[in-house]
């Protein structure tokens, strides 16, 4: 996952530029949140664990049948591994995730009274929960200023030059240093959504990007002449760049 951004502007982002970036993303989507569906801390923990190397949409399809019969660790353990695997069969690594969920539910009961712990160190004791997943859970449940670096955040941080790094931990450290306190609790979700819907991996939607003028990426996607032609004739035929802001969990 090593990326070296090519820059149009020299040097690191200034504090003013970083503030401008998050101010624009906040204006676009004032209350960003996860797209995983959940109704309790335990359900969020399960959904985050299942999301490794899997899209949120696929996780939501699986949990739509799982959560009605496994709302807590006791109920999940009562299902047993084969019944649990049946709900997860459409996900990548579903056998491994089944083992992790069974073991995690058991540890929650044995060490934490069935509750989801509220510290990163404690969360990382659970099978299948690493630093990134623990940061996601803490940020979503407690509005802590933790910034989880997934593939979208890693790409945006490097491509724009906002917080370049060769590893997720290096990017996390750079983001910790540069994100203003007033934006920290929502920075992760803003960057994830920007990477998922605008700064996409194969063909970034640069012409629609709200931070295009700040971005250091040299090979920006040029405007599509067909789009310009349609706009000139009064026809748009496309979804607005803010389409992602309508996505909300139940």
* CB contact set of 21 (below 8 Å; sequence gap of 6+): 13, 162, 211, 214
73, two tokens: 């660790």
**Catalytically annotated residue among 2, 72, 97, 132:** 132
Closest residue by Cα to residue 3 from 216, 157, 221, 233: 157
Q: Are 179 and 29 in contact (CB under 8 A)?
A: no
Backbone angles phi, psi at 7, to 5 degrees: -105, 145
Does the annotation count 132 as an active-site position?
yes
Q: Tokens at residue 82, please?
A: 């084969």
Q: Which of 97, 150, 213, 220 is catalytic?
A: 150
Q: Residue-wise over 85-108: b if at least 16 C-beta within 10 A, else e?
A: bebbeebeebeebbbbbbebbebb
Tell me the catalytic residues.
132, 150
């Amino acid at each position: 996952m090593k990326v070296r951004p090519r820059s149009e502007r020299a040097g690191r982002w200034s504090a003013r530029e970083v503030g401008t970036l998050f101010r624009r993303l906040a204006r676009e989507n004032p209350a960003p949140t996860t797209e995983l569906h959940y109704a309790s801390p335990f359900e969020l923990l399960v959904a985050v664990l299942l999301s490794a190397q899997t899209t949120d949409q696929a996780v939501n399809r699986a949990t739509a049948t799982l959560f009605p019969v496994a709302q807590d660790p006791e109920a999940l353990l009562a299902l047993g591994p084969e019944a649990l695997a049946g709900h997860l069969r459409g996900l990548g690594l579903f056998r491994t995730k089944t083992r992790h969920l069974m073991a995690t539910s058991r540890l929650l009961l044995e060490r934490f009274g069935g509750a989801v712990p509220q510290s990163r160190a404690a969360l990382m004791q659970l099978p299948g929960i690493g630093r990134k997943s623990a940061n996601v859970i803490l940020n979503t449940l407690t509005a802590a200023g933790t910034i989880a670096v997934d593939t979208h955040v890693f790409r945006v941080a490097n491509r724009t030059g906002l917080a370049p790094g060769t590893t997720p931990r290096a990017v996390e450290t750079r983001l910790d240093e540069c994100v203003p306190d007033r934006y920290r609790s929502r920075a992760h979700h803003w960057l994830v959504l920007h990477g998922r819907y605008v700064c996409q991996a194969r063909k970034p939607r640069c012409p629609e990007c709200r931070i295009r003028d700040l971005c250091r990426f040299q090979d920006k996607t040029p405007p599509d002449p067909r789009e310009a032609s349609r706009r000139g004739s009064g026809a748009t035929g496309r979804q607005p760049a803010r389409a992602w802001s309508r996505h909300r969990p139940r």
